[in-house]
């Protein structure tokens, strides 16, 4: 092969890359069709004798962690992938990141199958997994970034540009010389998130990126994620239990439960759902078996039969009053309770993921 | 795909930084090195006690034993220094922190093992080299260029055998919840390797030669230099045994990595 040939193949590769680039514009970045993952799990028996018998047992049951889901995600989207614990979120993410091999169906990220091409997949994605850092624990922050530069073969110019951007966003420079182990959780998460964008990946998976952070750091984190998404047009898949993250970042959400997609669509529709509900947690003095009924009757009398208030006793001494603000304003209910009952403690909580899922089941989005 | 040269470059880059970081804990380094030094010498003490009562061990003199032991110390050093992270595999697997090793465009065993470079193993390596030189002077071993190359090949194969045994044992963590006994056993067996295989009973000798071939970590290859005239032909297979064992270990590792599903999050 002489020099001309080499040059020729080089141009061919260039034009191929362009072709892929334009195809990418038409095709979706992540394509999932009828994807499933089943695990066989040994039915364990109790006690020592049971453990011994388990050794020779062939008694397996199949758990369908993910059971025939399909969706497409386009380049540049921020998608909230949410659901209660054990819904199959992690399993899907593990399949998208190339850790797990699907039991059935198709999964393609940028046209490649993650499981079969783990290294290629790793080159085009970034991952942040909750509180588990992927930086080098004993190294100063800047050295971690330099090693990542080497691993992902980022050239110096791009690297400098990126570090400049991160400096503007999170003031990274003042952390440069600190060992990762000495960073606070918030600082470390910021470093982890910026590190996951260093090689300009096409897709970044963020799993619980704000867990355990205080409100101001949470807000910072969200604005950084949003900024990076806009500047780079990076696709972001966000799994979280914090509905605040979802509200702040996502245009689209996919709700999954028991391995199936419950809802896939615009956030606005769902937003009205969990935005409208608030739960009052009350400690009522002299609580007894009839308290719930008394409350129910009082609400009906005060706000009419269509009051949209659900009452439940969740923990000991606590009564949960969930209010649909579209029907009855929270302030009115609170006022009414405080004047009618003797309450020793009150908390207002946002609706939980479990409740959102329950409402979707109940047909709230139809 | 990344070339071997790129991997080596990356390895040096990571370890240089790692050592710099560890050096900040200077007392940790000094204490663990001193501990390593004395624990290596403890076995020598056992030899002296044995040879105080018997003139030779299955026909091997004290100085020959020292040579074998020095060979052993050098041969296990690469495992100690470069593959020390194998010990933590079961924690990572149980805690779910093992997941992160899937996320970089690197060979996973490389990425995983590169995270720890055990400095105290260097003490063992240096002690081993010093002992080997001392013993070979005492034994009047004639080091021709050919012999020296043979020594390097023998050490390389022996190191591969030791690395393979430990890494393969650590992989038990992918399938067994409490995998420590497996790794602990593999680690304990290592202590038999600096002894002449002829002192062991038939069944043990067979095991240590063909099943878990710790005989190839020190005793068999040392014969090349101590008793070149009556080396069993099996010894010449040790490079193949080293490479073959490592290939099997790598296969087990890959199986484990592919079967791992992580913890829930």
Residue B27 pLDDT level (bands cut at 50, 70, 90): confident
Q: Of the segments A288-302, B3-17, B19-33, which one has the largest average pLDDT value? A: B3-17
pLDDT of residue B264: 54
pLDDT of residue B265: 47
> What are A216-268's pLDDT values in tens digits?
888 888 888 998 899 889 999 999 888 888 888 998 999 998 899 988 988 87
B14 has a chain A CB within 8 A of its CB: yes
Separation of alpha carbons A352 and A291, rounded Å = 24
A285 vs chain B: nearest CA distance in angstroms? Answer: 38
* Six-digit token string for B107: 């060979």
A116 has a chain B CB within 8 A of its CB: no
Cβ distance B265 to A130 less than 8 Å, yes or no, reads: yes
B229 vs chain A: nearest CA distance in angstroms? Answer: 50
A132 has a chain B CB within 8 A of its CB: yes
Contacts of A139 (CB under 8 A, 6+ apart): A147, A179, A180, B17, B18, B21
Q: Domains in chain A, please, with CATH?
A: 69-258 (3.40.50.300), 276-361 (3.30.70.100)
> What are B112-138's pLDDT values in tens digits?
999 999 988 999 999 999 999 999 999
B173 vs chain A: nearest CA distance in angstroms? Answer: 17
Nearest by CB: B105 against A130, A138, A152: A152
Cβ-Cβ contacts under 8 Å, A92 against chain B:
none
B64 vs chain A: nearest CA distance in angstroms? Answer: 42
CA-based R_g, chain B, Å: 19
Per-residue pLDDT at B15 exceeds 70? yes
Separation of alpha carbons B83 and B51, rounded Å = 34
Cβ distance A150 to B13 less than 8 Å, yes or no, reads: yes
A151 has a chain B CB within 8 A of its CB: yes
> What are B43-99's pLDDT values in tens digits?
888 888 888 888 888 888 899 999 999 999 999 999 999 999 999 999 999 888 899
CA B49 to chain centre: 26
Each residue's pLDDT tens digit in chain A (366 positions)? 444 454 455 556 666 666 655 555 557 899 999 999 998 877 777 777 777 777 776 778 888 889 999 999 999 999 999 888 888 888 999 999 999 999 999 999 998 999 999 999 999 999 998 778 888 888 889 999 999 999 999 999 999 998 998 888 888 888 888 888 899 888 898 899 989 999 999 999 999 888 888 888 888 888 889 988 998 899 999 998 888 888 889 989 999 988 999 889 888 777 666 666 778 888 888 777 778 888 888 888 888 887 778 887 777 778 888 887 777 888 888 888 888 888 888 887 776 667 777 777 776 655
3-class DSSP assignment, residue B24: coil
B65, containing H or E segment: helix B62-82
Nearest by CB: A138 against B13, B22, B261: B22
3-class DSSP assignment, residue A90: helix
B100 has a chain A CB within 8 A of its CB: yes
pLDDT of residue A1: 43
* Six-digit token string for B181: 């006994």
Separation of alpha carbons A71 and A114, rounded Å = 16
> What are B211-257's pLDDT values in tens digits?
888 889 999 999 889 988 878 888 888 899 999 999 999 999 999 99
Cβ-Cβ contacts under 8 Å, A129 against chain B:
99-100, 265
Comparing CA positions, the residue from A126, A133, A225 lying closest to residue A170 is A225
pLDDT > 90: what percent of chain B?
52
**Strands A125-129 and A343-350, bridge-based pairing:** unpaired
3-class DSSP assignment, residue B167: helix
Cβ distance A139 to B17 less than 8 Å, yes or no, reads: yes
List residues bridging with A261 in a β-sheet: A256
B261 has a chain A CB within 8 A of its CB: yes
List residues bridging with A204 in a β-sheet: A126, A236
Nearest by CB: A134 against B17, B103, B265: B103
Contacts of A338 (CB under 8 A, 6+ apart): A346
- Nearest chain A residue to B117, by CA: A138
Contacts of A244 (CB under 8 A, 6+ apart): A210, A218, A350
Cβ-Cβ contacts under 8 Å, A123 against chain B:
105
Q: Is the ipTM of this complex over 0.90?
A: no
């Amino acid at each position: 092969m002489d020099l001309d040939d080499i040059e020729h193949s080089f141009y061919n590769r260039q034009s191929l890359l362009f072709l892929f680039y334009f195809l990418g514009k038409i095709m979706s970045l992540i394509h999932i069709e009828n994807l499933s993952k089943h695990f066989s799990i040994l039915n364990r028996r109790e006690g020592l004798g049971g453990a011994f018998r388990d050794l020779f047992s062939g008694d397996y049951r199949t758990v369908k962690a993910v059971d025939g889901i399909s969706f497409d995600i386009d380049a540049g989207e921020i998608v909230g992938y949410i659901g209660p614990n054990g819904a199959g979120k992690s399993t899907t993410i593990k399949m998208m990141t190339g850790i797990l091999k699907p039991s059935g169906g198709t999964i393609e990220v940028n046209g490649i199958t993650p499981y079969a091409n783990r290294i290629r997949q790793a080159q085009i994605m970034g991952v942040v997994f909750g509180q588990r850092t992927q930086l080098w624990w004993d190294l100063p922050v800047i050295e971690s970034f330099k090693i990542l530069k080497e691993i992902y073969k980022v050239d110096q110019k791009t690297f400098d540009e990126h570090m400049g951007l991160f400096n503007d966003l999170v003031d990274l420079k003042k952390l440069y010389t600190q060992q990762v182990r000495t960073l606070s959780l918030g600082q470390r998460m910021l470093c982890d998130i910026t590190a996951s964008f260093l090689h300009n990946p096409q897709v970044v998976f963020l799993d619980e990126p704000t867990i355990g952070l205080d409100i101001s750091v949470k807000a910072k984190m969200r604005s950084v994620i949003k900024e990076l998404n806009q500047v780079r047009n990076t696709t972001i898949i966000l799994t979280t239990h914090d509905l605040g993250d979802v509200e702040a970042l996502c245009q689209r959400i996919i709700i999954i439960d028991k391995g199936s997609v419950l809802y896939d669509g615009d956030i606005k529709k769902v937003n009205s759902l969990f935005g409208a509900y608030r739960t009052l947690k009350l400690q009522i003095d002299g609580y007894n078996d009839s308290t719930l009924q008394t409350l129910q009757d009082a609400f009906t009398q005060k706000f009419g039969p269509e009051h949209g208030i659900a009452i439940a006793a969740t923990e000991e001494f606590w009564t949960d009053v969930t209010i649909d603000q579209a029907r009855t304003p929270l302030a009115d209910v609170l006022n009414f309770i405080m004047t009618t009952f003797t309450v020793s403690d009150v908390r207002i909580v946002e609706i939980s993921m479990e409740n959102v899922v329950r409402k979707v089941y109940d047909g709230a989005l139809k | 795909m990344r070339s071997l040269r790129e991997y080596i470059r990356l390895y040096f880059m990571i370890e240089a930084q790692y050592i710099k970081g560890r050096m900040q804990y200077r007392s940790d380094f000094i204490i663990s090195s001193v501990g390593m030094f004395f624990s290596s010498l403890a076995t020598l003490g056992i030899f002296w006690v044995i040879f105080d009562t018997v003139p030779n061990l299955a026909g091997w003199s004290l100085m020959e034993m020292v040579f074998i032991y020095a060979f052993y110390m050098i041969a296990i050093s690469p495992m100690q220094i470069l593959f020390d992270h194998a010990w933590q595999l079961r924690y990572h697997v149980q805690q779910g922190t093992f997941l992160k090793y899937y996320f970089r465009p690197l060979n996973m065993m490389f990425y995983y093992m590169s995270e720890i470079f055990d400095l105290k193993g260097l003490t063992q390596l240096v002690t081993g080299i010093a002992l080997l030189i001392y013993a070979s002077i005492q034994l009047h071993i004639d080091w021709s260029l050919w012999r020296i190359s043979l020594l390097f090949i023998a050490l390389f194969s022996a190191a591969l055998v030791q690395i393979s045994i430990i890494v393969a044992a650590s992989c038990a963590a992918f399938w067994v919840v409490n995998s420590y006994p497996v790794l602990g056993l593999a680690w304990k067996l290592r202590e038999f390797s600096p002894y002449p295989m002829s002192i062991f009973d038939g069944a043990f000798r067979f095991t240590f030669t063909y099943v878990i071939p710790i005989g190839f970590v020190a005793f068999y290859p040392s014969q090349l230099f101590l008793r070149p005239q009556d080396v069993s032909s099996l010894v010449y297979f040790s490079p193949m045994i080293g490479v073959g064992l490592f290939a099997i270990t790598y296969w087990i590792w890959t199986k484990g990595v592919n079967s791992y599903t992580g913890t829930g999050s």
